[in-house]
Structure 1
Amino acid sequence: MTLLASNYENDPIDVLVGDWMSEGNMTGRANAKANGQADAYEPTFLEALAPALPHIAKHRIKVAVNAGASDTEKLRDVVAKMVKAKGLDLSVAWISGDEVLPQLLEAQKRGGSPFENICTGEKLEDWQFEPIYAQAYLGGLGIAKAFEKGGDIVICGRVSDASPVIGAAYWWHNWQRSDLDKLANAFVAGHLSECSSYSTGGNYTGFKELECLDWTAIGYPIVEISHSGQVIVTKNKGSGGEVSVNTLTSQFLYEIQGPWYFNSDVTALLSDVSFEQVSTNRVALHGIKGGLPPPTTKVGITAKPLYQAEMHWFIAGLNIPAKARMMEQLIRTQMKSHMHNFTRLEFQTIGSCPENPTSQNAATVDFRVIAQGRRAEDLAPAKFVRPCIDPIMCAYPGATPHLDLRQAFPKEVFEYYVTLLSQSAIENRVHLASGESIDIPPPRETKTWPKHQPTQSVTAHAQNMSDFGPTVRSPLGTIVHARSGDKGSDCNVGFWVRYADEYAWLQNLLSVGFMKDLLADEYRGGRIERCEFEGLRAVHFLLKDHLDRGVGITTSVDFLGKNCAEYLRCRMVRVPMRFLARGRI
């Protein structure tokens, strides 16, 4: 924040926005709030804000963030005291309404909704866990009202990631709720900028091209939004990385669910999206249309904690599957008398030994034992870590445990359930520094959208694969970019290419059936939805319930779903030789 605010005279900005929330910290902060264990806001926001405040005040820059997490009012009080201590003339407002557990439980009691899990289809009454907290995703109009009424800094809890940008644009341009196309463009602008440097080269499969543009100083995206809703994305001057069609395509494909993108204020229709490189580090967004928002908004429910522990062994060289099998049998035998108390127990071999390795590290894999239980005592040292270590003298050749046992002792983890709640049940309210409170009503006009996104298992532009010429076996990622991410237990992955003829090949290659083959052992029978974004030369998949119950509880090492794309890019396919001749990614 300081970097951007302090350089205002050379690189002016009107509003600083920040997204501090994820499903990972939502559950942890929810537990802190429910138990009164600690402040349940995000303290790193204060670290970012404190040195920036003098510059924010000097240049009258507005600020909107969701760092309030589960203690929004408390964070507002801390920020107000910080502002006063520095003698600055800044008004601090906050937004309430995202905490909705009472409304949700009352509606469930009335039978008003089954509160179906939007990832798994499970009904809330069948969920085997006790809810302790529920947070709804709010829109951006409360932020707009706070700015309109003189708020300089607006502290939010669980507004959606893009809502601060929507609110800023709505306030600045004095838009109306009926300006759906404008709102939708601001919504997508918020999506493009919400993950900081992801739009400027972070988490980008073309990262090797950016080494000469300074990996160590990748910049921050800046979105310029006109009154008509036109969006230009750029970055702070003098920073590393780049803003390009490819870096924005990468971020655009991250964590979307298909061609319909929902927010409490608007539905963005994405089918005709495209980007235009208008100059160096300046890219225009095109093709976004707006639809009515849904009558509901997403709610994340955190359950009373479970407990998890894990232990690691190192296995090297030959016969790794047999060594892992031996270790698993030895540990299971030691755990036999109390293993029934575990809610989950997994033995995972992570990595593989290459042929003729040239170093011992290259020949070594991680054998991971991970367990979960309802109570901490179910994973007490005598019941988990001792049975994992005790077989050392009769184990596989070279048996070596990891000696850092901190993860082997029980820690809290949290089940997370994602459902929908009527916007009319939410008391969205702005609280101004003056003490005045203003209600933000739900949208008057809404649309109930189909349960599933539009999907096509194969392309409508069918061609014979032989039309693309001679092929050679090569990793998919030699010519194909990709990006993946998590939403609850769903995982999305989008693929895109550089040239139009490559896109015709990609469309025909990546059917739903081929995706199942590409996933190989990772495919476990779930629903797969597929769509195409022709303007981006992209094919997108939503892998329903592909991840292990979400980031807060997963036993997978890919707990954010981000490496799904990298796994798929290294899978071998038949690639046209003429595409490879153009150079590899």
Structure 2
Amino acid sequence: MASRPIRIAGASGSVSDRRHAIASFAKAYPSDPVDVIICDFMSEVNMTVAAARKTEQQAAANDAEPNPFMGAGPAFEASFLEALEPALEDLAKHKIKVAANAGNADTEALYKHVCDMVKKKGLDIPVAWISGDAVLPAINTALKEGTSKFKNVYTGDILSSWEFEPIYAHAYLGGLGIADAFSQGAQIVVCGRVADASPVIGSAYWYHKWERSQLKELANAFVAGHLIECSTYVTGGNFSGFKALEHTKAGWTDLGFPIAEISKNGAIVITKQKSTGGVVTIHTCSSQLLYEIQGPWYYNSDVTAVLDQIWFEQVGPDRVAVHGVQALPPPPTTKVGLTARGGFQAEAFYFLTGLDVAEKARMTEDQMRAALKPFSDKFTTLSFGVLGSAAPNADNQNAATAVFRVFAQARKSDDIAPNKFLRPVIDNIMQGYPGSTFHLDFRLGIPKPYYEYYVTLLDQSKVAHTVHFNGKDTVVPPPTVTKTFAERQPSQPTANSQVDLSKFGPTERLPIGTIVNARSGDKGADCNCGFWVRNQDEYEWLKNLLSVETIKELLGKEYDTSRVPKIEVDRFELPNLRAVHFLFRNLLDRGAPSTATVDFLGKNTAEYLRNRHVDVPVKFLSRGKL
């Protein structure tokens, strides 16, 4: 079996991904076989929501008073069942394995639903589930014993100083539980918070019968997992070179899902399902590689991948080989995300059209601050902003319109009740700017709960990573060989060998995105952003242009020096990708579940920065714009 590479299909990148991929891969097996289908359903947003649901379900079972934070629905990701059900017959027929981290905060309940679904169809598909990611008892025990203060990895604060009470804690598990379940005979493995790439690590580990000591192979599988974990992000989704996709044979309306081929020695080729849209190129792979990393060291519970020498090779149409991945042992700790009830939030919108948008926005903000003053001392957040801009001399009214947004948070629902927020906001209309118009959907102005999220580290020895299969519970031990890393990754403020930018010749003031690709994403309160170019001389220009100080200037008002915690910037280079990567610490406020920004996932930071103007060498423009 293991004489050929394992073929692992990436069939879901989030809870909101399209749900046809599992069935499509399974049906296509005779002409395009895959060994394992993996699905990533977890994010910090749905983790916090599911944690609250699970906590309230437990309280309800104990006849506790209902809490307004209680949301409808299960504490696992039900959309996985929608994706799985139509695939079951073909999965059974072709013996394709499936690993999915859709269990969220109630993996056992998801396991029971999958078993019932399989049984009702009369199929022989053995199912296992993984536990151990729910670690709040371990956190509380360590606090009581004084063995850890659980420092926040973003702010440096300790947990005892957090003003919120944790209700749940997800630990990020590695992939060896999945490998063990497959080895025992499971065909479908459902997990909670295993790390995004862990299903690929576990699948390759099982298939090739690797050992924990084979760090190079594990690191390559980890990178392969990172490349396909977000499904079509590696085939053209969220790709700054997206315009070229429109003119491909299959167009851009139905991007194909990816496949990672991993050999016994760890060699990787990224491809995609046959006869589907999208592309797999050096640049789509560079885009996904630069997403969500935080420096040259990329951590998983099973291995640390070292990325600064990685490079890609186009070995065929829609086939990219991965080279240069180095390996170190995993850290002794694993990441943990704690959820707490944060409070309530509400927002409302006005439309600003035509001339004088900035003045109209300033007038509206002044009026609303005055109207909200009797109540805003109870708000924990109150922010105003303009989304977009009005196009000059627009030929239609929509193009001439920008959106004014007012956003507020408070600890108690009553402190942000309609009479204290929404009513004063809409009552302002008759004294407003010319054309004053508010959005008639008032539902966003009604208080709704939000959650706070705290990220820390827990010793892997405190995690009860367990496989449940066929009536047997198997404990997955933590790694015995680990490496303790510095709290901050290496940062290089400027290029090592400085080059005078004038050597690149005459320039034209243009958006940097005219010739530079970029990709960004969120990790808690941090936002990362990688920039890369197509040619070596462009890279010499890029790495000399983009110093830490220059990127702060390009961030503009987003680099708010008054913010607490302080925004900091780390930088490192990936020369073989012709890339420069930045980590913007605390740029996203408190992270996706609670931030006041509309770019709560950090994905538009790259596009904002690509639109910032710099002096672009004219000689690069003759090669064609992106």
Q: TM-score, normalised by structure 2?
A: 0.92
Query: In the alignment, is residue 362 of structure 1 matched against residue 399 of structure 2?
Result: yes
- Residue 330 of structure 2: SS of its match in structure 1? coil
Q: Could you tell me which amino acid in structure 2 is paired with residue 574 of structure 1?
A: D
Check conservation: 2:154, 2:585, Cα contact below 8 A: yes
Matching residue of 1:437: 473
Alpha-carbon separation, structure 1, partners of 2:80 and 2:318: 28
Deviation at 1:354, TM superposition (A): 3.3
Q: Could you tell me which amino acid in structure 2 is paired with residue 20 of structure 1?
A: F
Moved more, 212-221 or 157-166: 212-221
Which of the residues 555, 567, 588 maps onto 1:547?
588
Check conservation: 2:130, 2:465, Cα contact below 8 A: yes
Alpha-carbon separation, structure 2, partners of 1:264 and 1:405: 45
Which of the residues 137, 143, 152 maps onto 2:187?
152
Query: In the alignment, is residue 483 of structure 1 matched against residue 524 of structure 2?
Result: no
- Residue 437 of structure 1: SS of its match in structure 2? strand
Moved more, 121-130 or 192-201: 121-130
User: What does residue range 398-409 of structure 1 map to in structure 2 within 5 Å?
Assistant: 398-409=435-446
Moved more, 521-530 or 350-359: 350-359
Matching residue of 2:171: 136
Residue ranges of structure 1 left out of the alignment (5+ in a row): none
Alpha-carbon separation, structure 2, partners of 1:513 and 1:329: 33
Deviation at 1:356, TM superposition (A): 2.7
**Alpha-carbon deviations, 1:378-410, whole Å to 9, x = none?**
111111110001121111111101001010101
Which of the residues 612, 617, 621 maps onto 1:571?
612
Which of the residues 21, 24, 30 maps onto 1:3?
24
User: What does residue range 308-457 of structure 1 map to in structure 2 within 5 Å?
Assistant: 308-432=345-469, 434-457=470-493
Alpha-carbon separation, structure 1, partners of 2:147 and 2:454: 18
Deviation at 1:110, TM superposition (A): 2.1
Which of the residues 459, 466, 470 maps onto 2:495?
459
Check conservation: 2:306, 2:327, Cα contact below 8 A: yes
Matching residue of 1:70: 105
Which of the residues 256, 280, 287 maps onto 2:317?
280
Matching residue of 1:494: 530
**Alpha-carbon deviations, 1:336-365, whole Å to 9, x = none?**
222111111111112222333332222211
Query: RMSD of aligned C-alpha atoms?
Result: 0.9
Matching residue of 1:161: 196
**Alpha-carbon deviations, 1:446-472, whole Å to 9, x = none?**
110011111100011321111111111
Check conservation: 2:391, 2:401, Cα contact below 8 A: no
Alpha-carbon separation, structure 2, partners of 1:471 and 1:327: 40
Moved more, 572-581 or 462-471: 462-471
- Residue 399 of structure 2: SS of its match in structure 1? coil
Which of the residues 227, 236, 248 maps onto 1:201?
236
Query: In the alignment, is residue 245 of structure 1 matched against residue 282 of structure 2?
Result: yes
Matching residue of 1:304: 341
Q: Could you tell me which amino acid in structure 1 is paired with residue 487 of structure 2?
A: K
Which of the residues 54, 58, 70 maps onto 1:33?
54
Alpha-carbon separation, structure 2, partners of 1:99 and 1:581: 55
Q: Could you tell me which amino acid in structure 2 is paired with residue 449 of structure 1?
A: F
- Residue 224 of structure 1: SS of its match in structure 2? strand
Q: TM-score, normalised by structure 1?
A: 0.99
Q: Could you tell me which amino acid in structure 1 is paired with residue 460 of structure 2?
A: Q
Alpha-carbon separation, structure 1, partners of 2:195 and 2:507: 45
Deviation at 1:520, TM superposition (A): 1.0
Alpha-carbon separation, structure 2, partners of 1:120 and 1:321: 34
Q: Could you tell me which amino acid in structure 1 is paired with residue 318 of structure 2?
A: N
Query: In the alignment, is residue 580 of structure 1 matched against residue 621 of structure 2?
Result: yes
- Residue 46 of structure 1: SS of its match in structure 2? helix
Alpha-carbon separation, structure 1, partners of 2:387 and 2:240: 22
**Alpha-carbon deviations, 1:458-509, whole Å to 9, x = none?**
0113211111111111110000000000000100000000001100000100
Alpha-carbon separation, structure 2, partners of 1:24 and 1:226: 35
Alpha-carbon separation, structure 1, partners of 2:244 and 2:371: 51
Q: Could you tell me which amino acid in structure 2 is paired with residue 494 of structure 1?
A: G
Deviation at 1:511, TM superposition (A): 0.5
Matching residue of 1:531: 572
Alpha-carbon separation, structure 2, partners of 1:333 and 1:289: 58
Matching residue of 1:111: 146
Q: Give the length in aligned residue pairs.
A: 584
Deviation at 1:98, TM superposition (A): 0.1
Which of the residues 124, 136, 139 maps onto 1:101?
136
Residue ranges of structure 2 left out of the alignment (5+ in a row): 1-21, 58-69, 562-566
Query: In the alignment, is residue 562 of structure 1 matched against residue 603 of structure 2?
Result: yes
Deviation at 1:304, TM superposition (A): 1.7
- Residue 113 of structure 1: SS of its match in structure 2? coil
Which of the residues 20, 44, 47 maps onto 1:23?
44
**Alpha-carbon deviations, 1:195-243, whole Å to 9, x = none?**
0000000000111111122111210110000000000000000000100
Deviation at 1:369, TM superposition (A): 0.7
Deviation at 1:329, TM superposition (A): 2.1
Alpha-carbon separation, structure 2, partners of 1:138 and 1:478: 40
Alpha-carbon separation, structure 2, partners of 1:486 and 1:301: 17
